[in-house]
Structure 1
Amino acid sequence: MKRGFSLIMAVFFVVLIATLGMMALSFSTSTIKQSSNIYLREQAEVLARSAAEIAIMAMQDHNYSTNCLKNVKVFYPSGGVNAILEAKVSMWYFDRNLTGCSNRILSAIYTLEDRHNIVDNIAMLDISVKSINNSTTEPISLHKRIIQRP
């Protein structure tokens, strides 16, 4: 009777140790996946900020007398096959005096309060960052809207 009880306790102990080992392995793999997803999410947020700054510089350099600047694309780490993230920036304008941007003007209604509000040279940037080329296990998508005066 004593030997049978010892054998049952030994089997129970082995099963317990194996279960704890499997739980530790599962936890470590999920932690690695989670940390890589957090890293890529941070990269997407940094790319969104950088794309906004590049779009503002492009807006400052653009000649609006001929046509309107509508979109800017930025890739990370490069524009080739190795790109992981793509940022698209769409520009919408509040300036009613832009002649080449009639379909990109957001505010086209004049009110009595407009005489106190200066709305020239103001743009809304719609920033969208997405993972491309199936480079990540989980798709990454980030969307921001900011209002800037370039």
Structure 2
Amino acid sequence: MRAYQQKRNGFAMIMAIFFMILIATLLSYMLSTTSETAKRTTNVYLNEQAQLLAKSAVEYAILRVSGQDRSGGTCVNSFNAQYPEGTPMFDINVSIQYIGFGGLSGCNNYIGTIATPESNGTMLIDVYVSDNASLNLSEPISYHRRTLQKL
């Protein structure tokens, strides 16, 4: 027999096992990083969508108040909406406070203690956008926007 056939050492087997463990570790790290990046991208997208919905809700509140006859004692105090219709992803809650409109009788949210001429006809609009409970997100989305708007 030849010398190399009689003497076999296990160094190649140890190196192969070491490389397999190294590759498995790298693959698990890559998988973890990929899933974290996908989750972060989804959260950024949903947060941006919540901010855009809050802007739209402010514009819609201004439109609703502008079209309302406030002299008759009726006014828009608050309203709720969901987006999109059908299977909602976001709940939108809007509350409106009126400042210096000259004693609105039908408004629950009237601030009459400010007596400057510049403040007459001003609205304080609070918009709360939150994710719908049916989404079951690991990190809930909630966005608040407060706007002072002159009519």
Question: What aligned pairs does 1:96-111 form with structure 2 within 5 A after superposition?
Answer: 96-101=101-106, 103-110=108-115
2:147 matched to which residue of 1? Answer: 146
2:61 matched to which residue of 1? Answer: 55
Deviates more, 1:89-98 or 1:12-21: 89-98
Question: Once the two structures are superposed, what CA deviation does each residue of 1:50-79 show, in whole Å capped at 9, x if it has no partner?
Answer: 00000000000112222231102232112x
Taking structure 2 as the reference length, the TM-score comes to 0.85
Query: What amino acid sits opposite 1:18 in the alignment?
Result: A
Structure 1 residue 3, shift from structure 2 partner: 2.8
Runs of 4+ in 1 over 4 A off after TM superposition: none
1:132 aligns with 2:139: no
Among residues 72, 82, 88, which one is paired with 1:83 in the alignment?
88
Structure 1 residue 118, shift from structure 2 partner: 1.5
* Cα 1:136/1:45, change in 2 over 3 Å: farther
Question: Once the two structures are superposed, what CA deviation does each residue of 1:103-132 show, in whole Å capped at 9, x if it has no partner?
Answer: 42235154xxx3xx4111101001100111
- Measure the CA separation in 2 of the matches of 1:2 and 1:10: 16
Question: Once the two structures are superposed, what CA deviation does each residue of 1:18-54 show, in whole Å capped at 9, x if it has no partner?
Answer: 0000111111111111111111111100100000000
- Measure the CA separation in 2 of the matches of 1:49 and 1:123: 15
- Measure the CA separation in 1 of the matches of 2:10 and 2:114: 89
1:28 aligns with 2:29: no
1:71 aligns with 2:78: yes
Question: Aligned pair count?
Answer: 143
* Cα 1:17/1:128, change in 2 over 3 Å: same
Gaps of 5+ in 2: 1-6
Is contact 1:126-1:145 (8 Å) kept?
Answer: yes
- Measure the CA separation in 2 of the matches of 1:123 and 1:109: 12
* Cα 1:96/1:9, change in 2 over 3 Å: same
- Measure the CA separation in 1 of the matches of 2:135 and 2:103: 40
Is contact 1:96-1:108 (8 Å) kept?
Answer: no
RMSD: 1.9
Structure 1 residue 140, shift from structure 2 partner: 0.9
SS in 2 for 1:139: coil
User: Share of identical aligned residues, percent?
Assistant: 33
- Measure the CA separation in 2 of the matches of 1:2 and 1:143: 71
1:92 aligns with 2:97: yes
- Measure the CA separation in 1 of the matches of 2:143 and 2:24: 41
